[in-house]
Amino acid sequence: MTSAGTDLLRERLQKRLDELRAEVRAASLRDASEAEAVVREAHDRGDEASAEIQLGIGDAELVRDLHELREVEAALQRMARGTYGQCEDCGQEIGEARLAAHPAARRCAACQAAQERRRPR
Ligand SMILES: [Zn+2]
């Protein structure tokens, strides 16, 4: 990954972060902090489905937004630490094409597919 490529992706991630924050605020000004706490906890357990159940079907979109928000934040943190673009499972380069399509990707395509087979969405 070239540093120019990373700069571009950082910009996209930052922009997405702003969009998501605005969406979350708009979706639920009252419940956002509660929802965020539930999602944060579920996310740490690797169990987003339980957050959706806890928050109710009506908030599924909010849960998705909050989940993506966490993913985008994590990607920006990896950039700050210099580990961005490395698969967190196998340590290989994720690849520029995949990062261009999914700037917040944590895993290479092969590891992501393996993960989804283990835990279908
Ligand atoms: Zn991998």
pLDDT tens per residue across span 91-112 = 999 999 999 999 999 999 999 9
Task: Enumerate the H helices of 1-121 as residue ranges.
Answer: 3-27, 32-45, 48-55, 60-81, 96-101, 109-118
The alpha carbon torsion through 28, 34, 36, 37 (nearest 10 deg) reads: 180
Backbone angles phi, psi at 93, to 5 degrees: -60, 135
Using CA atoms in the order 54, 60, 64, 66, what is the torsion angle rounded to 10 degrees? -60
Higher pLDDT, 4 or 97: 97
pLDDT of res. 61: 78
What are the structure tokens assigned to 120, written together?
Answer: 């279908």
Instruction: Sketch out the chain's domains with CATH numbers.
Output: 3-118 (1.20.120.910)
pLDDT tens track for 11-25? 999 999 999 988 887
Give distance in angstroms: CA of 119 to centre of ligand 1. 16
Tell me the CA–centroid distance for residue 102 and ligand 1, in Å: 14
Average model confidence (pLDDT) across the chain: 84
Whole-number Å distance, alpha carbon 9 to ligand 1 midpoint, is 20
